[in-house]
Structure 1
Amino acid sequence: MFGIFHCAGKFLSYFIVQEKNDADEASKQAQVLWSACQALLRAIKAGCPGIPWKDQMRPLEPELKAVEKAAADNDELVCAVLKGIPKEAKERGVYPEDALRERFLKVEQVARTVALVPETGAPLPIHVLSFIQSLLLIKSPSPIPAGELNDEKVDFAKLNTNDILQRARYWLDRGDFAQTLRYMNLLKGAPRCVARQWMNETRILLETQQAANTLMAHAASSGLTYL
């Protein structure tokens, strides 16, 4: 009888040690995954000071491979999120926030000068008139009315190009690229043509950021499981 209890005790001790080792290993893996996801987020956000925005395309292949390597083989969520990252971001990279912020300032300026020009183009006098109008615009100290900031009902169809650009700039200055993109999507005519590429690059960035944030949250929750 003593022998049976002795064997059972040894088996239980082995089981407890094995469980602890597995938990330690999983915790370490979660930490490595979290670090890899953090590196991915840093790559997306940080630009290169002193370098023109057009030269700041940031390849993400090393960071994405690090995340894939750090994840467990059976981690379906990581696999699904990585597959959902835009193709452009995987193959050539993204423009980081700093580059898109710099690029927006140029887009904003040009879009204002063609505010009166339709998408199909216009005669020279319309271009001249649109340019003159852009010079006479006075920047409002309150680009967004308080009611709009408080989520009161707004008829966005009544906003002109300058209204839209002021609102977009307001959110850009606060680091909210999602809100900036929502307003830029309201543009019409030539201003929309001017902003189209910026909007596309911002969409790619935001979708990649969302994926990175999801991976970060997953890695953090996985680590907490083994505390």
Structure 2
Amino acid sequence: QSLSEKLNEQEMQFKRLTQEQLDNFTLDINTAYARLKGIEQAVESHAVAEEEARKAHQLWLSVEALKYSMKTASGDSPTEPLECAVEAVKASCSDNAFTEALVAALPQESLTRGVYSEEALRARFYAVQKLAKRVAMIDETRNSLYQYLLSYLQSLLLFHPPQLKPPAELSPKDLDTFKLLSYASYCIEHGDLELAAKFVNQLKGESRRVAQDWLTEARMTLETKQVVDILTAYASAVGLGTTQVD
């Protein structure tokens, strides 16, 4: 074998060895890079999960604060204005269209003045019921002093049960002022403010007018409570859906 052939053979062996070393080095580099990317992704995933859990907890806390504000009513006074508590809810979910839509549905007066408790509305209802019965005969066309006197005497002389269990379906005869008020009273006593408000809403004439303020306040309380209940359920669901990170 000539010297030239030996040199060529050694050169080829050297190239193969060099290529193998280069391939092994490249493989090691790629493996190390893949491990590094895996670590980065794990850290990022951990950070994202931690941030989502933090946001969910913050939302839950802010909704709980709003629920507490709903319990600050005392006697016949409304709750404290809900605006601060609502702003905290909005801040905790500023990029959440669902919660923003819910918060936007809150009655404006509940934010600036507060709402009455169901207990306060219940106590107030009986004064409204008494007055509405006294003017039961007064409609949009009969509003003379004589009619007021007749209506008052009727409320004193005729017996009407203070409470009646509402029928499953209302008939025209059930739309009598006294019956509607008795149905509403029954619902109030059984904790169903929403149904009571529906019966009061059926009143006509002067009875409807004297009950209008109570009806407005009842609706505001019901609307606010409904939004808060949905927010509470949503905050709990979001909290359960996030992974708590140690």
- Relative to the length of structure 1, the TM-score reads 0.84
Compared CA separation, residues 225 and 57, structure 1 to 2 (3 A): closer
Q: Is the 8 A contact 1:114 1:130 kept in 2?
A: yes
Cα displacement string for residues 112-160 of structure 1 (whole angstroms, at most 9, x for unaligned residues): 1111122455333332332233234545486125xx2xx3x33155421
What's the offset of the Cα at 1:43? 2.6
Q: Is the 8 A contact 1:43 1:96 kept in 2?
A: no
Q: What is the identity, as a one-letter code, of the residue corresponding to 2:103? A: L
Match of 2:230 in 1: 214
Q: Is the 8 A contact 1:119 1:190 kept in 2?
A: yes
Q: Within 5 Å, give how 1:56-71 maps onto structure 2.
A: 56=78, 58-71=80-93
**What is the alpha-carbon distance in structure 1 between the residues aligned to residue 68 and residue 159 of structure 2?**
37
Q: Is the 8 A contact 1:45 1:98 kept in 2?
A: no
What's the offset of the Cα at 1:226? 0.9
Match of 1:112 in 2: 133
Q: Which structure has the larger Rg?
A: 2
Q: Is the 8 A contact 1:44 1:97 kept in 2?
A: no
The runs of at least 4 aligned residues of structure 1 exceeding 6 Å deviation read none
Q: Within 5 Å, give how 1:145-224 maps onto structure 2.
A: 148=167, 151=168, 153-156=169-172, 158-224=174-240
Q: Percent identity?
A: 32
**What is the alpha-carbon distance in structure 2 between the residues aligned to residue 16 and residue 101 of structure 1?**
56
Compared CA separation, residues 194 and 144, structure 1 to 2 (3 A): same
Match of 2:7 in 1: none
Cα displacement string for residues 23-45 of structure 1 (whole angstroms, at most 9, x for unaligned residues): 22212221221222233233335
Q: Is the 8 A contact 1:45 1:97 kept in 2?
A: no
How many residue pairs get aligned? The number is 217
1:78 matched to 2:78? The reply is no
- Relative to the length of structure 2, the TM-score reads 0.78
Q: Is the 8 A contact 1:115 1:190 kept in 2?
A: yes
Aligned partner (choices 21, 30, 45) of residue 19 of structure 1: 45
Q: Is the 8 A contact 2:163 2:182 kept in 1?
A: no
Compared CA separation, residues 156 and 175, structure 1 to 2 (3 A): farther
Higher relative contact order (CA 8 A, sep 6+): 1
Match of 2:20 in 1: none
SS in 1 for 2:221: helix
What's the offset of the Cα at 1:19? 1.4
1:48 matched to 2:70? The reply is no
Q: What is the identity, as a one-letter code, of the residue corresponding to 2:215? A: M
Q: Is the 8 A contact 2:164 2:183 kept in 1?
A: yes
**What is the alpha-carbon distance in structure 1 between the residues aligned to residue 103 and residue 145 of structure 2?**
48
What's the offset of the Cα at 1:197? 1.2
Q: What is the identity, as a one-letter code, of the residue corresponding to 2:190? A: R
